[in-house]
Structures are given as structure tokens and as C-alpha cells.
Chain A
Amino acid sequence: MSNEKEFIALLNEHQRIIHKVCNLYMDAHADREDLFQEITLQAWKAYGNFRGDAKFSTWLYRVALNTAITFFRKEKRQPDIFSTETIPDFNATDAYDPIEEQVKAMYAAIGELSKIDKAIVMLYLEDYSYNDIGEMMGITANNVAVKMNRIKTKLKESTQKYMTPA
């Protein structure tokens, strides 16, 4: 029981990791809710293996990404493609904000990536080193570097189509 309390406290403290993974991998609200539940359950199931030699956040990232990548849905309620309309808006004002538009375009471009590339981008955004990303993904740091270069080029290209011409 104390184990459960300890897990809940840790998960609550780090729940933004799960939100990030859910937002990145699912577009529809109901799908995000399903994935949040699945990640929480998978983390609880695997919690017995967590020995504390890695940070809880790193361990949770691994569980969350594994769950998101292998998430099994019989029917897709919504395609996993982001549209700029569904991106959460912080500064919803009428004033034109070029940074805001770029962030929206980049967010939409990330949404178009494959599940594997999304995982790499997510860890990269968290400032994990190529070594750490490689360890989490099960590939070499060199491979991560190559993939990251390809992803950056891809993002640069696809961001353009989401930008409204000035």
C-alpha cells in the first residue's frame, strides 16, 4: 500500500511527462485520455522493476514512449495527424505573433513525424544527450545523431507549409 502511495506521489510529480507523450502521440481528447490511462497502468505494472539507479523521469519516459509506440487501437477514432487548429493555444489574442505562428507550424510538423521520430524529438527537446537517447531507444549515439539531422531537415521543410505567407 505504501508502495502504491509512493508511486502515485512520484507519478503526480512527473505527470507532465505523460501529458507531453499523450499530446504528441494523440490528437483527439478521448485518445489522449485512453493513452494517459494506459501509460499510468503500464508504469504501475513495471514499477516493481524500478530500482532507482536511473532517474524516475528517465524511467517514466521509457515506459510512456514504449506504451505510446505500441499502443493498440482497434479503430482509430481520429488520425494521428496534428492540425494547427487543434494545437493548444496559450496566447490566444488577436495580435499577430510571428513566434507563436512558428511554434504552431513546428508543432504541426512534429505531429507529422513517424512514432519513432516523435520519440527522438521528445527526448531531444528534454535536453537528453545523444548517448542517453540512444540508451532509451536501444540504438547507438551515432545513429541518434544521424536520425536527428534527418529529422531537423524534415521539420524545416514541412514547417514551411504551415506558415502563412507574410
Chain B
Amino acid sequence: MELDELKYQLNQRLATDHASRSNADISALLKKKTHSVISKIKRSLIIEMVLCVLFFVAMLYVCFITNYWSIRVYFGVFTVLTVLMTLVLYYLYRRTDTLSDSDRPIKANLQTLVGLLEEFVKRYFQFTMALLPVCFMFSMILSYADPVEIPEIEKFSVKVFTARWQVMVFLGVYMIALAISVYYFTKWYLKKLYGNYLTELKQYIAELDQ
């Protein structure tokens, strides 16, 4: 039997309601939280913006109370970076908000969603990676120019390292290892969060193009 011959029966069967809803039920549904990927991104952006503001306040506080100019410079730079990050997050939030309505044609909707997710993943990755050299460079320059002496660390380094070059090698290895692990961890984390979903959406677009 062909699809056309069973149209009526299939339509009837598909329209079977498993829990009939009244106006009051629908009204109650409108007050619930959406679980779409767009709202997930928006929630994540809001949380990150709130964290940025909190960091901004905390770093500004450290800048004012510290007696070391190196710490003041370090936290001052990160205060500015946090402001820039907040602006980027706000831009992404506005963009996500304006493009999030799902009444476009299916292919256009998929393309918009893929575009948004890719941009979000790209910016997130770029920012995480950009922070690494900034942190390393500043900590090296500032610890050289204005060393802060912490007795416990001093004692430890005297015990473990016998020459200055050993400290430099240790720091170099530590930075490389940290950079590599942050790189792979961020990649894995983003893939786990959105990677498989992105692949699925791209497959649908390819299927529509076939």
C-alpha cells in the first residue's frame, strides 16, 4: 500500500492527543522555561556576563589595596580585559536574541543556528586561548621587574632547584604543559557541549541540499 492511500488514517493517528490541553494548561506552559539550545547559550552568556562584572569588581579592589605596583598593573590589565570581554559577550547575547526566533524556513533556521553556534564556540575558544599568553607574559615580566617574595615558595625553590636555569626550565615546561592541556581541554569541552549537535545540524543542511 502507498503513502497516498493511507493519508487519512495516518493523519488521524498522528493527531492523537496523549494529554488534551485546555487554555489554562497552555497558559501555564507559557510561564515555563525553554530548553532550546539558543536559550542555553543565552543563559550561559548571562552567567558569564555576571561573572565578568564580579571579577571586574574584585580585580579593581585588588588594584586599589595592593602595595605592589606589579600586582596593580597585572590586575589593572585584567580589569580592562574583563570590560572588553563583557562587551563581546553582550554583543553575542544581542545577536543571539535577535536571531533566535524559529519561524524562518527550516533550512534558513538551521543555517542561522549553525552560524550562531560556530561563532559562540569560536569566540569562546579564542578568548580562552588568548588569555594564556597574556597571563604568561605578564607574570614573567612583572615577577622579574617587581619580585614579590613569599617565604614558603622561597624555601621550597631553594630545596628543589640548585641553579637559576633549572627554575627557568621548570617554568617553561610548566607553561607549555598548561597551554597544551588548556588547548585540548577547551577543545574537548566545546565539542562535548556543542560539537556533536553542530555536526547533526550540518548533516540536516547537507540533506536538504541533496
Contact = CB atoms under 8 A, between A and B. Distances in A.
A99 B7 CA distance: 12
Given A69-B204, A70-B109, A155-B3, A19 B29 contact: no
A8 B103 contact: no
Contacts, number: 161
A67 B36 contact: yes
Task: State which size class the interface on B falls in.
Answer: 35 or more
Contact of B2 (A107, A137, A138, A152): A152
Interface stretch (B18-26, B49-57, B133-141): B18-26
Given A62-B103, A119-B106, A24 B2 contact: no
A23 B14 contact: yes
Nearest to A151: B3
B204 to A, nearest CB: 6
B14 A20 contact: yes
Nearest to B25: A12
A135 B103 CA distance: 12
Interface in A73-130: 87-88, 90, 99, 102-103, 106-107, 110, 114-116, 119, 121-122, 124-127
Contacts of B209: 139
A62 B27 contact: no
Contacts of A2: none
Nearest to B31: A41
A62 B10 contact: no
Interface string B135-176: 000000000000000000000000000000000000000000
B3 A106 contact: yes
B15 interface: yes
B107 interface: yes
